[in-house]
Structure 1
Amino acid sequence: MPLQIAVLIMAAGASTRMKGIKQLMPWKDSNFLLETIKTVQKCHVLNITIVLGSNAELISNQCQLNDLDVHVITNTNWAEGLGNSIAHAVKVKLQQQETYDGILICLADQPLLSHEYLNKVINEFEKHPEKIIGTNYGKRVGVPALFPKIYFSELSKLKGDSGAKLFLNKQSESIISLQANKQIIDIDTNAEYEQLMAHTNKTKI
């Protein structure tokens, strides 16, 4: 029987370093958030949850999330940071008393992320279901990362803006780190967005 995996797509931040709402920035056929959802929907997962915070109602309405096969969690304390939003979402999932073998955490601002890479993470987890499967960032490990259920309680206690990074890097002996190369690029500023679009348009020529 395949392992039961839930996905949290983190989209709660205010994108203060960008002019505009990062989750809604145009990308491919729609925007960052919707394209991330499309990517995850191609993966072998049981449940997809979008974690919103800043501009939650606007994002939900513009992306028509209620019409998609996803769950939506809104963290009213999103300003306390990514760690707080992860903790809030995991608490909600635990309260729902649904059974998952693992939770895969992704970001909505990594537009180059592919479903092939996410399935690679999932396949590695199925071989080593007691391990955290993380993504190599050189000197550290980050998301996308897939956590087995023995870590759900600790995830529900995360705080601050570092997300799962500090937690991941304390668990080095329990992690298998995979290479995602340029897929780990995240977009935080308008300059980075313009570079992304320029490179994308250039490669289409």
Structure 2
Amino acid sequence: MLKPDQVALILLAAGRSRRFNDGDKLAEPFLDKPLAYHVVTALEPVHFCARIAVVSDTELDFAALGYDVVENPDPSLGQARSLCLGVARAKALGAEAVLVALADMPRVTAAHIRRMMDAADGPATIVASSDGTQPMPPALFGKDMFDTLLKLEGDQGARDLIRRGRHVIAPPAELVDIDTQEDLRELRELYGLRTDGLPELPPALVIRDEARRSD
């Protein structure tokens, strides 16, 4: 078991959004805030020893939200590069473990993160999330794994490591990962949003508004 104040949160927010096609995916509006801020808000109640955001070319101000911001100058080197930068900062800060989360997973909950910490079993721990089928982030690593994490390369990140760790299951809906415009559209539809941030108009108002525009 790990206590939150032993753990540094590493939020990976430096992806190139290649599959999203256009714009800064993490800044896309969803409900009342940018997409990336949902996991930030969800994890606010967890008292981590540090909060680290690894970013690249984004307009979002994670520093204003209490994060130690680390710039990834070359995200083309893959997710592992961002992970290494975050782990290096956490190691320098004396963290006993790191919790690696993705900024494009807006439905992660603090309750799930606490269950992961309860499942930790020492400095060599690896605890990953699972939808019941496959392991995935968020993932928790004890300090004995830091040097291994710092040697990772490419886009696979820590996937091979989390496959051999303990897995804490969460409902698939909590672990949704927004990679494409279609993913975001489906998430908005789940919340009944026609245009994100704008409420649905009752049919009578829609007809009245269309009639007014045609006058």
Q: What is the aligned partner in structure 2 of residue 112 from structure 1? A: 107
Give 1:93 shift.
3.0
Q: What is the aligned partner in structure 2 of residue 44 from structure 1? A: 47
User: Which of residues 6, 9, 16 is equivalent to 1:7?
Assistant: 9
Greater fraction of residues in helix: 1
Q: Do 2:39 and 2:107's aligned partners in 1 also have CA atoms closer than 8 Å?
A: no
User: Which of residues 77, 84, 87 is equivalent to 1:87?
Assistant: 84
Runs of 4+ off more than 3 Å: 137-140
Distance 1:181 1:142 in 2: 13
Whether 2:94 is the aligned partner of 1:99: answer yes
Q: Do 2:7 and 2:98's aligned partners in 1 also have CA atoms closer than 8 Å?
A: yes
Q: Deviations over 1:94-138 (max 9, x none)?
A: 3xx32211100000111111111112212222xx23421111245
Q: What is the aligned partner in structure 2 of residue 157 from structure 1? A: 151
Q: Do 2:8 and 2:90's aligned partners in 1 also have CA atoms closer than 8 Å?
A: no
Q: Do 1:28 and 1:35's aligned partners in 2 also have CA atoms closer than 8 Å?
A: no
Distance 2:157 2:14 in 1: 12
Supply the AA of the counterpart residue of 1:8. I
Give 1:78 shift.
1.2
Q: What is the aligned partner in structure 2 of residue 144 from structure 1? A: 138
Distance 2:34 2:47 in 1: 23
Q: Unaligned regions of 5+ residues in structure 1, if any?
A: none
Going from structure 1 to structure 2, the CA distance change for 1:139 and 1:35 (only over 3 Å counts) comes to closer
Give the TM-score normalised by structure 1.
0.84
Deviates more, 1:115-124 or 1:97-106: 115-124
Q: What is the aligned partner in structure 2 of residue 124 from structure 1? A: 119
What is the number of equivalent residue pairs in this alignment? 190
Q: Do 1:44 and 1:122's aligned partners in 2 also have CA atoms closer than 8 Å?
A: no
Give 1:7 shift.
0.5
Q: Deviations over 1:112-165 (max 9, x none)?
A: 11111112212222xx23421111245542211110000001111111001111
Supply the AA of the counterpart residue of 1:190. Q
User: Which of residues 164, 167, 172 is equivalent to 1:177?
Assistant: 167
Q: CA RMSD in A?
A: 2.1
